[in-house]
Structure 1
Amino acid sequence: MDWLGDNAWAVWLGLGFTLGVAELFSLDLILLMLAVGALAGMVAGLLSAPLVLQILVAAATSVAMLALVRPSVVKRLHSGPDLEMSHHKLVGQQGVAAKPISTLEPGIVRVSGEDWTARPYDEHLTIAEGEAVEVLQIRGATAYVHPVPRLES
């Protein structure tokens, strides 16, 4: 029993390692937080703290990790970029008018390498060929665009 008292850090290390390996199978991040608590108990053991204090340090660290760290890590892992599908991904992108665009005569705009039928968003505008435009809306298969302001030098 003296060996266990003198080498409690080794037990904490083994417990932390075992919990870490078990986490690889569960992927819930609960066992990983408990493993961090066990490693905190190991540090307390290396500092020759009494066994009761080691247990309290391990428990407090585990609870703190579960309450404070795990929720934000899980949120980060489970969230990702919003998936924009279909034509909605074109809204906000810039392109070039491949043919003149007016309300009376729809033109063609090239956005992200694709050609789209286009009309001006402001029905009083006429957009010349080669002018930079921004897609403001998609209705059906028609892109409603507005010219991108240019800085004159």
Structure 2
Amino acid sequence: MDVFLADYGWIVWLVLILIFVTIEMVTLELTFLMMALGGLGGLLSGLLGAPWWLQLIIAVVLSLVLLFGIRPPLLRALKRGGDPSKTNVDALLGLGGRVVRSVGANGGQVRLDNGETWTARLSPGVAPRDLQPGEIVSVTAIDGATAVVVPSEGNTR
């Protein structure tokens, strides 16, 4: 058994590394990547002539150090870099636009600065009046498929 592991141990390490890398590509949790790097440490120690039991100890210790020492801060660093751009409804709040069809308490239509045309109604916090086509508005909320708008400082463009 010792002769077999001494002669062909590197093949076992390569197979383990490939299995760990393949599993990592599916899970993307960095756990199996750390185990693959531990296996790489075992492989390199075997190529340098270490006995099989020392290769195993090196692989296990290196995997544990990477799992508990490197993986947590690496995961924090990866999660910190989220996309800062707003999407969906959040991207519409505060967006400007122009009245296309008169907007009052009952509805109307506005074309937003992003090019989308939305059904709109006047915000309940604004003095009731009808906004005429061409007036500039800002989106304060989205209620279903309706943009709730308020008139902006400059009335027309």
Percent identical among aligned pairs is 28
Change in CA separation of 1:64 and 1:107 when aligned onto 2, cut-off 3 Å:
same
Change in CA separation of 1:138 and 1:25 when aligned onto 2, cut-off 3 Å:
closer
TM (norm. structure 2) is 0.56
TM (norm. structure 1) is 0.57
Pair 1:118 & 2:151 matched: no
Check the 8 A contact 1:15/1:38 in 2, yes or no.
yes
Consecutive unaligned residues in structure 2, runs of 5 or more: none
Distance 2:40 2:64 in 1: 13
Matches of residues 4-153 of structure 1 in structure 2 within 5 Å?
4-5=5-6, 8-21=9-22, 23=23, 27=27, 30-67=31-68, 68-69=70-71, 72=75, 90-101=92-103, 107-111=108-112, 113-120=116-123, 122-124=125-127, 127-139=131-143, 142-147=146-151
Check the 8 A contact 2:121/2:148 in 1, yes or no.
yes
Consecutive unaligned residues in structure 1, runs of 5 or more: none
Q: CA RMSD in A?
A: 4.5
Say which SS state the counterpart of residue 126 (structure 2) adopts: coil
Aligned-pair distance for 1:99? 3.3
Say which SS state the counterpart of residue 123 (structure 1) adopts: coil
